Amino acid sequence: MAKLYVVGTPIGNLGDITYRAIETLKNVDFIAAEDTRHTLQLLNHFEIKKPLVSCRAQNERFVGEKIVKLLEENHDVAYVSDAGTPGISDPGAVLVDIVRQAGFDIVPIPGPAAFATLASVSGTGGKTLIFEGFLSPKSGKRRARLKEILETGDAAVIYESPFRITKLLADIADIDSNRRIVVGRELTKLHEEITSGTASELHADYSSRQSIKGEFAVFVSGIKKFKISEKSTDN
């Protein structure tokens, strides 16, 4: 029986793609993509030639039925978003649901995700990490949700655009000016920048910049204590 492969792709640095992802893209019959133009650049880089199917958030349900027909014709299909792992602040969830309801297997091919990339260099511990993705662009809704997140005491990762990053930092600073945060800009890309400090410090930093470009992930540290084992790991 044909399968749908949900394939994670690099969030910036093409060297981050996995061998398994490359082999999967080489072996399937069709590749569905959030933006076929963007995906074509990735495929050309790795010399992969496959028929492409456009599957964006705007047409995901409609195209999902077409992909089911391809599977019924015994064609394996891979789905990729523009960057990172599909279904995480990207299209893919609707397609997966349609294919699963049609009775076909869905195989995850793990890959990069900006929230995990930033969390790995946050320097904080704790068992719980809230992944929020993009908050509402509306000030009232954004602030209300931020307050809920910060009041949990758990760490969180939030995505933001260059157009609203200073507003996000201002809101965090207003709610808890001393909360430690880490801002990742253009993660894994040529102009990658990772800065850390209190919410008020980073708000002042970004407010003073004349130009802000790139994609952002913001790690908000939790305030719950975590214990470091005193037992030696040496045997």
- What tokens appear for 121 in the block? 């260099």
Q: What are the boundaries of each domain within the chain?
A: 3-109, 114-220
Q: pTM for the whole thing?
A: 0.89
HEC letters along 45-104: HCCCCCCEEECCCCCHHHHHHHHHHHHHCCCCEEEECCCECCCCCCCCHHHHHHHHHCCC
Give pLDDT, residue 126. Answer: 74
**Mean pLDDT, rounded, for 43-55:** 97
The whole-angstrom separation of Cα 11 and Cα 157 is 16
Give pLDDT, residue 224. Answer: 66
- What tokens appear for 210 in the block? 């004349």
CATH fold of 3-109 reads Cobalt-precorrin-4 Transmethylase; domain 1 (3.40.1010)
For 131-185, what is each residue's pLDDT tens digit?
Answer: 999 999 999 999 999 999 999 999 999 999 999 999 999 999 999 999 999 999 9
The whole-angstrom separation of Cα 215 and Cα 60 is 24
Q: For domain 114-220, is the CATH number 3.40.50.300?
A: no
The residue among 82, 10, 81 whose CA lies nearest residue 46 is 10
